[in-house]
């Protein structure tokens, strides 16, 4: 490899792969050392150095200098393989270090190809993978289409680094709000919790740190422009925004809207908080939601187990309680009558004994 070829290679890899020039120079030096060792078969120390300015190569075995160009075609091929492997390892390390620090961040790429059910997405400096499990149901893409997702994970496999994307994680919705709603990005409006069933519905609890800022109004935007952009990105996924409440009964009531709450009973336990909620009979289906979706999301959002019931259950329980009270009263009255009867019988027995005693006494006289 000639001096100018080395400099051209280093400059090209530095520009295209964003790999530090010094890393590339060292990779070439180690590759040439390996080639010299395999070609010469010497046990002596082998040293190869490249002039960073001129690209000139100097090699020596022990104290004797050699010309790397004399090593032949096989040695050159070995040097190339080793060099490319080391450069690939360096590139994988750079990608890992850069993207591992971006977990949870929103990125935009382009659909490049499909590998089975996974989508390979071209990012700025590498390719990422969107697995089937992280794709929103019923979404379809074509090569060349723009795709957004958050960086879910970065995995190392040998010398390569693989970036995993997600569009189903709740943090994807959070990232979209941070982009579309300045108040969220600035921390004026805070996202407290998110409950999501991808492709169907999301419930998100917000809190405003400024008294004059309405968290729901800020997220919806003028004529719904802000929330509409987010819904469009999610391909029509419904989004319910509720104000964050410290009082659980208020948070539960808001999370079940638009259903009306008639009565609520809370039972706190050791990690098992339970809420019994009574709603109008004609709003029972609304509170539960299709296939139980509304109440399921409310449970995730609030952290409470929620049991939705109609007034009929409450009425039946009231009647049952009244019947129990009535039965208790009857029992008590019955016990009282029995007690009185027993007392009367005892009194009659005593009278009869007294009469008998008097008769016996008079006969004796």
Among 40-54, 114-128, 275-289, 293-307, the least confident range = 40-54
Domain assignment of residue 296, yes or no:
no
Domain count, the chain: 3
Torsion angle, alpha carbons of 245, 251, 314, 326, to 10: -30
Same domain, 125 and 92: no
Which CATH number is 92's domain given? Answer: 3.30.1480.10
> CA 239 to CA 326: how far, in whole Å?
50
Domain assignment of residue 355, yes or no:
no
Candidates 189, 192, 241; CA nearest to 220 is 241
> CA 163 to CA 95: how far, in whole Å?
9
Question: Packing angle between helix 3-17 and helix 21-40, nearest 10 degrees?
Answer: 130
Same domain, 17 and 84: yes
Q: Give the pLDDT band (50/70/90) at residue 76.
A: low
Domain assignment of residue 280, yes or no:
no
Same domain, 47 and 67: yes
Domain assignment of residue 348, yes or no:
no
pLDDT(73) > 90:
no
Domain assignment of residue 65, yes or no:
yes
Please give the pLDDT value at position 41: 62
Tell me the pLDDT of the chain averaged across its residues.
83
Same domain, 191 and 139: no
> CA 112 to CA 132: how far, in whole Å?
15
The backbone torsions φ and ψ at residue 237, rounded to the nearest 5 degrees and listed phi first, read -60, 130
The pair of structure tokens assigned to 323 is 């019947």
Please give the pLDDT value at position 320: 52
What is the enclosing helix (H) or strand (E) of 135?
none
Among 91-95, 135-139, 241-245, the least confident range = 91-95
pLDDT(15) > 70:
yes
Biggest alpha carbon–alpha carbon distance for the chain: 159
Please give the pLDDT value at position 275: 94
Same domain, 87 and 127: no
Candidates 126, 62, 78, 120; CA nearest to 100 is 126
The pair of structure tokens assigned to 116 is 């089975």
Same domain, 34 and 78: yes
Domain assignment of residue 114, yes or no:
yes
% helix, strand, coil for the chain, step of 5: 50, 25, 25
Question: Packing angle between helix 73-100 and helix 21-40, nearest 10 degrees?
Answer: 150
Domain final residue, candidates 100, 116, 147: 100
| DSSP codes of every residue in 37-104 | HHHH---S-EEEEE-TTT--EEEEETTEEE-GGGG-HHHHHHHHHHHHHHHHHHHHHHHHHHHHTTTT
Q: End-to-end CA distance of the chain, in Å?
A: 155
Same domain, 232 and 184: yes
Same domain, 161 and 181: no
Among 86-90, 161-165, 248-252, 349-353, the least confident range = 349-353
Domain that holds residue 178: 169-244
Domain final residue, candidates 58, 76, 100: 100
> Given phi > 0 = left and psi -120 to 50 = alpha, else beta, which region is 118?
beta
Same domain, 121 and 48: no
Please state the rounded mean pLDDT for residues 210-216: 93
Which CATH number is 217's domain given? Answer: 3.30.300.20
54-57, long-range: CB < 8 A, 24+ apart: 54/3, 54/7, 55/2, 55/3, 55/4, 55/5, 55/6, 55/7, 55/10, 56/3, 57/1, 57/3, 57/6, 57/32
Domain final residue, candidates 84, 100, 116: 100
What 8-state DSSP symbol labels residue 274?
E
> CA 144 to CA 105: how far, in whole Å?
22
pLDDT (tens digit per residue) in 311-327: 876 555 554 544 555 45
Same domain, 141 and 178: no
Same domain, 201 and 214: yes
Tally of CB atoms within 10 A around 322? 10
Strands 46-50 and 305-309: unpaired
Contact yes or no for 307/287 (Cβ under 8 A): no
pLDDT(137) > 70:
yes
Domain assignment of residue 332, yes or no:
no
Q: In Å, what is the CA distance from 354 to each residue of 31, 345, 358, 364, 365?
A: 129, 14, 6, 16, 17
pLDDT (tens digit per residue) in 21-57: 888 888 888 877 877 777 766 667 788 888 888 888 8
Residue 160 neighbours by CB under 8 Å, 6+ apart: 88, 92
Please state the rounded mean pLDDT for residues 100-126: 93
Cis ω for the linkage preceding 258 (within 30 of 0): yes
Domain assignment of residue 326, yes or no:
no
Which CATH number is 133's domain given? Answer: 2.40.50.140
Same domain, 116 and 90: no
């Amino acid at each position: 490899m000639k001096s100018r070829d080395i400099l051209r290679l280093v400059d090209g890899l530095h520009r295209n792969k964003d790999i530090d020039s010094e890393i590339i120079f060292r990779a070439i030096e180690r590759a040439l050392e390996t080639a010299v060792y395999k070609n010469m078969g010497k046990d002596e120390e082998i040293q190869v150095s490249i002039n960073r300015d001129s690209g000139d190569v100097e090699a020596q075995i022990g104290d004797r200098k050699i010309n790397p160009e004399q090593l032949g075609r096989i040695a050159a091929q070995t040097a190339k393989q080793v060099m490319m492997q080391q450069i690939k390892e360096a590139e994988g390390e750079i990608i890992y270090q850069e993207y591992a620090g971006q977990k949870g961040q929103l990125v935009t790429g382009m659909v490049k190809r499909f590998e089975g059910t996974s989508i390979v997405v071209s990012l700025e400096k590498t390719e990422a993978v969107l697995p089937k499990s992280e794709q929103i149901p019923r979404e379809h893409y074509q090569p060349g289409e723009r795709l957004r997702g958050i960086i879910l994970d970065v995995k190392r496999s040998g010398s390569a680094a693989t970036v995993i994307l997600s569009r189903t994680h709740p943090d994807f919705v959070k990232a979209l709000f941070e982009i579309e709603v300045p108040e969220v990005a600035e921390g004026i409006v805070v996202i407290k919790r998110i409950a999501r069933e991808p492709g169907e519905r999301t419930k998100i609890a917000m809190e405003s740190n400024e008294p004059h800022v309405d968290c729901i109004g800020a997220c919806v935007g003028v004529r719904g422009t802000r929330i509409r952009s987010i819904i469009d990105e999610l391909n029509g996924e419904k989004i319910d925004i509720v104000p964050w409440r410290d009082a659980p009964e208020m948070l539960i009531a808001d999370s079940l809207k638009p259903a009306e709450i008639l009565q609520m009973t809370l039972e706190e336990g050791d990690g098992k908080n339970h809420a019994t909620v009574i709603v109008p009979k004609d709003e029972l289906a609304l509170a539960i939601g299709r296939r139980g979706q509304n109440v399921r999301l409310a449970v995730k959002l609030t952290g409470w187990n929620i049991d939705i019931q109609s007034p009929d259950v409450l009425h039946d329980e009231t009647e049952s309680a009244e019947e129990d009270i009535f039965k208790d009263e009857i029992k008590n009255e019955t016990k009282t009558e029995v007690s009185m009867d027993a007392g009367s019988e005892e009194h009659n027995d005593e009278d009869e004994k007294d009469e008998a005693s008097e008769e016996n006494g008079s006969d004796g006289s």
